[in-house]
Amino acid sequence: MKNSVGMENNTQVRVFVFSGLTDNDQLILFLFFFFLMVYLVTILGNIGLIILVLVASNLHTPMYYFLSCLSAVDFFYSTSITPKMLSDLISLRKTISFNGCAAQFLFFAGLAGTEVFLLSSMSYDRYTAICHPLHYVSIMTKGKCFSLASLSFFMGFFQSVVQTSCLFSLQFCGSNLIDHFYCDVLPMLQLSCSKTLHCNILTILSVGSCGLYSLSTILASYSLIFTTILHIKSSKGRQKAFSTCSSHLVCVSILYVSVFLTYLHSPSSALDKQDKVTSVFYTVMTPMLNPLIYSLRNQEVKRAIMQAIQHISHVIQIT
C-alpha cells in the first residue's frame, strides 16, 4: 500500500495511515466494544483511585501519593492511544496528520517513561518502609516524595522530547503506511527515507538507559527487601511485609514482560501480530489493570473503598 494518500516519492509525507489492529471485519465490532469497556474501566479505576487517595485520611502516605501519580499517568497514557484506536476501528480511513503523529508519540513516550521512573520511586519507598521502618517518616518526607515524582515526570518527558525531535526531523517521502495502530518508533523508522542510524542509536540509548536505571533500582530495592523479610522471625510479620510489595511487583512484572516482548528485537524487523498483541497489552490493558491490582490486593484500599461506599449510602439515606 504505497503512497496511500497520493504522496509523491520526493514529497514530505503530511498524513500517515495506520494498518490498524485487524483486517478481519468480523472482529471489528467485538474489538470496538471490548476496548471501549476497557477504556471506561481505565477512566473510572484511575480517577476513582486518585479521588480515594485524596479523601481517605488513612491513604495519606508516600506509597499512595506515588500510586495516585501512577494513576494519573495511566489515565493520560491510555488516553493518548485508546480513543484514536477506537475511532480507527470503525473508520474507513485510519489517518493521522504528521503533527498529530508527533504529538501522540511525544505523550506516549513521555508518559511511558514517567511510569517507569515512578515504579522505581515506588520500589525505593517500599525499601525504606521495610528496611528502615523507624526512619521511614523522616526519610520519605512530603518534599522528597514531591521531588521524586517531579523528577520522574521530568526524566520521562526529557527522553521523550529527545526521541521525538530526532524521529520527526527525519524525511518521510515514500510510503505513508504505519504498520501499527499508533505512532511508535520502530514502524516510523522503517518508513523514513533518511538515514536512521543516529535515531536508532539514540532510541536504544534512551530506552536502554531508562529501562536499565529503573530495572536496576527495582531489583536492588527488592533484593534488600527480600533479605530483610527473610530475617523477620514471625511468619505473620513476613507475610505482612511481603503483602505491601506484592501489588507493586505484579504491576512491574506485567509492564516489563510486555515491553520486553515487543522491543527486544532488531529495530529493522517488521512488526508481526504478536507485537501488536503485546503492544495492546501495555498501552491499553496495563493502565486498566494497575488500579484494579492495587484495589483487589491491598487491604487499606479495600477498607477505604468500603468506607467510601458506606459514607455515600449514609448520605443517600439522609437525603
Instruction: Give the Cα separation of 224 and 236 in Å (integer).
Output: 19
What pLDDT, on the 0 to 100 scale, is given for residue 314?
A: 64
Q: Provide the CATH number for the domain around residue 177.
A: 1.20.1070.10
Residue 26 inside a domain? The answer is yes
Q: What is the pLDDT along the chain (319 residues), one digit of tens a residue?
A: 444 444 444 567 889 999 888 888 888 999 999 999 999 999 999 999 999 889 888 888 998 999 999 999 999 999 999 999 999 999 888 999 999 999 999 999 999 999 999 999 999 999 999 999 899 999 999 999 999 999 999 999 999 999 999 999 999 888 889 988 999 988 898 888 888 899 989 988 888 888 888 989 999 999 999 898 888 877 777 777 777 788 888 888 888 877 777 666 544 445 566 677 778 888 898 899 888 887 766 667 767 777 767 766 666 667 6
What pLDDT, on the 0 to 100 scale, is given for residue 267?
A: 47
Instruction: Give the Cα separation of 87 and 21 in Å (integer).
Output: 12
Residue 262 inside a domain? The answer is yes
Provide the domain count of the chain.
Answer: 1
Instruction: Give the Cα separation of 25 and 32 in Å (integer).
Output: 11
Residue 24 inside a domain? The answer is yes
The CA radius of gyration of the chain, in Å to the nearest whole number, is 22
- Of the CA atoms within 13 Å of residue 11, those in its CB half-sphere come to 10
What pLDDT, on the 0 to 100 scale, is given for residue 311?
A: 66
Residue 5 inside a domain? The answer is no
Q: What pTM, to 2 d.p., does this model score?
A: 0.86
Closest CA to 16 of 107, 86, 104, 76: 104
What pLDDT, on the 0 to 100 scale, is given for residue 11?
A: 63
What pLDDT, on the 0 to 100 scale, is given for residue 20?
A: 85
Domain assignment of residue 155, given as a range: 16-318
Residue 284 inside a domain? The answer is yes
Distances in Å between the Cα of 253 and the Cα atoms of 30, 36, 146, 212, 250 are 28, 25, 25, 15, 5
Distances in Å between the Cα of 217 and the Cα atoms of 5, 211, 239 are 46, 10, 23
What pLDDT, on the 0 to 100 scale, is given for residue 118?
A: 95
Residue 57 inside a domain? The answer is yes
Instruction: Give the Cα separation of 176 and 221 in Å (integer).
Output: 45
Residue 7 inside a domain? The answer is no
Residue 297 inside a domain? The answer is yes
